[in-house]
Structure 1
């Protein structure tokens, strides 16, 4: 199934299934008489915890939405959005088509940024909030849509924005003042990362915020933007407080990067892509776009446009056609132009911002 390759959940066994109200956490007998109470995210058991917020949250077919939280040991926070395809029509949303992740899966994963034993992992000690994806709307939607008619009609709950708000409400209440936030996601989660990074930056005004979109260049067709994208009704998630923000311009994703970069000049924005990303090309074709060469040319042009207009933006263009890097073991070895991604990203988050890296001589694999 195509979406299976888009992203995976980290290892989290054993799980603690929690309500939003929280978990009992360590028992009282584990704390000495002079130990301070453990509050917020630190009250959770070590390892991955699953929280089910309930309320209006939902997956596309009505299954429950859940998110995962892993407490760290430093006052820094990863907010990660899962990928998993998208749908926008009767043909793409029909059960069995499998173009998007429909439920919150619990696939174990311990590689890439989830390898907390690897000393090269820039995020090994950070708090980590992982927001799954099961609504087919790149984490932006707030609409119950019915596609088709009669017996072939299919109803999809595009409630990605509702789910994200529930997770972020918990974050705001339980991680009150992180010093640094890394907002990221692969594939559909890459678009979640750029949109919701504005909300996180606006809420945490004193935090240093770094955004990293893994394999989500935003190359779409005008026809998709005009005829299909509106079915998600993403308006409620837009950062409308940003001067000059115009939703009508979002057919070019670089506009969102430009607006955020101008409004928050100290916020670091970034993208990772491979030069012939199979999955991004697949969805570009599904939207009525051209082939691999057309997508790659448009991706490069979009990145160049952002770099020319947004001083805080950096990009890493790698060879090959693999989709997403965050969860892969190759996160620690992939390089472009002699630069290892993990070192580049560590500098982006923790040091002086590196220069963009482009694989200009790369062709199809």
Structure 2
């Protein structure tokens, strides 16, 4: 495993906070003023650090996988799953590079492509997560962070091999997290698009490991509206079985044809968790993939999305949703993270309540 410090987005804090050599302060194993043991994450350089786990981790074409860690100043942790598209047959996997990023760049995509906006703006006093540790898990396998398979699609010269190893990559990242952030007070598990599916599935694993932590999940623009044919014929190509929370009584893999069942089962088993979703009423990207799976048009997706949310709300007391107007896909990284509102409620305030106050009620835009 290799760790490299990146030279950008450094927070302006005394280096001694991170127990670096020569500070004369507490080591990473010493206790903090409140008695909680200091985590190994505090020995990293300020700003974003690149971790190259090696081993069996990989991207879709065999390129190396890496993830990024930014130490904070409070004993709270963001675990974020990068978004992107997916591929599941010869048609989609032949153009995999246009659907999701097949390699991990040398710096977090949130910096190189999207800038320090949204949740990554650590200077914004409105950011509920500005002081938290942040682990950013990239996505380069086309399997919504669930897969553990090497699949070949097509034949002859048209054949393409995809390493659907998202679950392997996540396990490596979480293994590091568990060792280096041993007892966080709170954990915010999130991600947009494909990362939203990673967030709900892996939130159960995070909660099972951190039995003393408050775990909050926020799925950004991943409502899970799929077709029966996709679930039956395509999802198996990823071999996601190894990531299923099979220790939860009542979990039935066949029920994953409705992603809502995953929210319902996890929410019932861990009533102290807070689960949530954010969607726009006519999300362009989610509609695109629904159509690619053989689904209907814009309104069919929107109606199914709203029905799915209503079903989770009816069965899961610890679930809340935020339905916004428009067709934009993902909000976490956008400047609008701080301004978007629905039903008179700003998302950033709603999220602050979700992680720091009483669980907020679901909200929806007027006319949605």
- Pair in the same fold by TM > 0.5: yes
> Please, which of 28, 34, 54 is the counterpart of residue 21 of structure 2?
28
Q: Which residue of 2 aligns with 1:271?
A: 277
State the match for 2:104 in structure 1: 104
Pairwise mapping of residues 1-365 of structure 1 onto structure 2 (< 5 A)?
A: 13-14=7-8, 27-29=20-22, 31-32=23-24, 35-39=25-29, 40-95=40-95, 98-105=98-105, 106=107, 107=109, 108=111, 109-362=115-368
Inter-CA distance 229–45: structure 2 relative to 1 (3 Å threshold): same
**SS state at 2:218 partner:** strand
CA RMSD of aligned residues (A): 1.5
Q: 1:3: which partner in 2?
A: none
1:28–1:113 Cα change, 3 Å: same
Shift >6 Å, 4+ stretches: none
Aligned residues of 1:46 and 1:71 also touching (Cα < 8 A): yes
In 2: Cα distance, 1:113 partner to 1:36 partner: 29
TM-score, normalised to structure 2's length?
0.90
Q: TM-score, normalised by structure 1?
A: 0.91
Q: Unaligned regions of 5+ residues in structure 1, if any?
A: 1-10, 17-24
Shift of 1:99: 1.4
Deviation at 1:37, TM superposition (A): 1.1
SS in 2 for 1:28: coil
Q: 1:62, 1:97 → 2: CA distance?
A: 13
How far is 1:263 from its partner? 0.2
CA distance in 2, matches of 1:113, 1:359: 22
Give 3-state SS (helix, strand or coil) of 1:250's partner: helix
